Structure 1
């Protein structure tokens, strides 16, 4: 019996496959099981048009058997089998896909689809095999055949004995090396794990003889180990079931089974789309933040299946980064996959799915915000920070998707409110959406800069996270209302009469402010009469885009941000008694004016949570005042 050689192109492809096409050797079992499933599907379709065949689903299965002693693995199916010509065509020419040809020649209906479309999956066996033997008997022939190959040296085909239709693939494992332990592929635990991981939702039973502990007859407390045939895979995935058949508990059980988190999901989204691209998905919004969510180790992504076969455990392209907390699966039979099915060949279909998924998640969150406020606030406590980061990403490209999902603490409501809720109750004369920044709600409530805005009866949003002000500056405006910090230069509140009065007062004391500015040279950009202070003597504000709070945050970042500083302005309350003391010192005692100026400036720094430049000097200055 002569050994036949693979075609030259096939030989090169086989070398590539063994060495580089597949990223993990365990993939070979997925490929062989998918091929076996295809063979049964082909029998099913044949039975639809051939009256001599009947298809009783209970008669069709895939069986995986391990022989550790001889280091052999067998995969058996009861599918359509192959003739000698089909063996020659499908296994003699790599990338000649019988499954793809069958799919092209037959209109696939009834929820079935042919998984293997690339004609190379079978050869993944040579990543672990020293040699491969195939016994097969076609539904179209009484003669069975045996195909044998050790890989690159070619293959042989000869008649063989086989009682029933179907195919057996027998793999003789390679010898172990220092880097590779091939024995694991005849270990029961490993085989079960690979089947559950990649082929759990193959529609036919995948059976194995497994070791189980059973009580001995008539011997209480005594157990014996026996072999028992079990079906390893689930077969029917939850996402293919009718939503009306499923309960919240079913979804929670699936969440736990997939190890998506130790929490329970706040919400699930079950999607079934039959449009330009067909897919099904189940998405989960977790209740709690994963411990590593804000670290580099966290990897976002959804499980990606192609017709029930796992292709990627983490497909990051299916989720925008700002929805990276979402867990779940996507299953589509329309994806264009590459030769190894581990990578997507074209991304048009994936982009359509990703866009739809993004909109579904956004829609679910908006519904929660509207109808289930308590649940949404739980979600926002866990992942609101990620939404704010999302607004900043890509130069604000996603701000319109996310701005309606933000919540901030309200000075008026004493709870979290949305931007829509804030603007809906704004007085007609209010020009801006006001906000204040600080480390905590308690600290913000004590800020002198809030006095005038609150005195006008206007609501202030409290920003307590370092990302808040950056996100808001990216949004810029909401419902045509711009955002305004209570510590910004012009609050847009003062009446013409108030502005004129303050202008005259400032003009009358222009020399005093110039002197104070000189004393604080290099520390502040300007010194002004305050328009916002009511009871407090002094505060710091900022001119320009960089606020004092932003400066504090940027100062904690890497070195390139150290030079970014706010243009600070010292504001003095001209209606406070301290102002009269400043005027008196300016007229009569310049040393005392310097003393007062340094104390007030350092007080303003402390109020803002900024470091005092010279604590010893401040202490000495205060002692001088007290003496």
Structure 2
């Protein structure tokens, strides 16, 4: 018999425990299976039949039917009602409207494909459900290709309509999966469905050959390690039909096989753009014609596919992959839905913590691998370098570490080699505090660029970037450690570094160089730059003398890099009201023979001098990579040639 105080304590404990029960239930579910937990409770709680748990032999009533507060947890009934509001679409016709309208031509499978089909059809019995995963994965790939086509050719029109539809019918013994993706031509069907194109499938066969005689258990487990793609459909099917029509084409075709070493292809009518796969299920595989079975498999393997997956018209994958979104854009509701999906729970999480451990580990691992074998890493970088650059541009938090993985050609190494930013820093000249780079189409274009001349003369290393997006990546990175990153198109090399290089020259060599260099007086220089500015009119904002050029007569210089200047001249920007600068800033090398001769020609032959001045400006614009139309120079060049040959 409990005392009054003990009863009061137990009563208080009951109420407290009931409030905390969802969290306690979650911890308990980690120790016992969900089915056992429900068995102990006699099913889910309801208001008509309260369930009883015990704590220290004292009964505790389930109180989830009563909300903790006005903002309390949702009841299971409310959750189910909310889930029922999922947008639905009409299920596809299980038999469809497609018809074979032409002659069926028979073809034999590739030898390796026949071997694989025989194994899949007759030897594999475990993990047969993975055929759903494989077909959904293939459909998702087709949708991604279609999305790319729509984005590049139609500005993204209709991308929201891309989806995967599954229909099942136990009475008809059919499983049908449809995607409105890219689709296939007849030739592509023969290539993709008639041969083994995936390395995973070949590895699958090699594994089977290596484990011969080790029993069926190992053989059955291999399907879980190697995806055999489309061929996995034959694990559950007596016959498979594939109807497909390539986007933008009128002709559709039907591919048919019973997995017996051959297949047929025939023209078909009523085929929509995309691909439809029809599985005629075996008698022992009719469980896959049940809607609930398919939904369970999709949620198990394909919950976070980027496109909607419908089963008999109802959306299955309703939870987004939140780890692909910025943390600050995720709503509380999205966090709750993900928690309920993963934990199979009906309450809400008490706290939410977003953290990314894998990203940092992968970056550290790649940095370590690059140190172990730079050659192997460079092969990796050829395939995945663009993704790493995207990470540098988009992920500011991890950009400093990701930058260590970047590789670029350089003026200090051979043209077929690349270097890291760390290696560049290790070779920097004393007193240099900036990493310099230049965007060019190729190595030869880069080393012959007038912007590179002064840096070459000063012995300063420059990284070469062959893609426009590299300039965006490095400009966004801005710094690497305590070093700045700057394009040599918008900055000049430090004068002190040039002076140090000049001091190293032998006296006689320096005197010889100065003696062979033509020159103008200060008055002649001012007169020439003023005349050029007046002659070129609105095409230039200013004309100034510069010491940074060695072999080139002129360059243009402004505060915009090459990519920005290209964007500025695009019609899309003009339509937005963004205009180009009033004119270019032209820097001229007054020691160059052309400028010295031009100084004399402006008085002796003004017409020819003006043509030469305009050509110098166009040459400078051309070297900057932003000349709109080179053919406009041809009449002027012809006039110059005629004058020279008189």
TM-score, structure 1 normalization: 0.48
Higher normalized contact order (CA 8 Å, seq sep 6+, divided by chain length): 2
Q: Which has the higher strand share?
A: 1
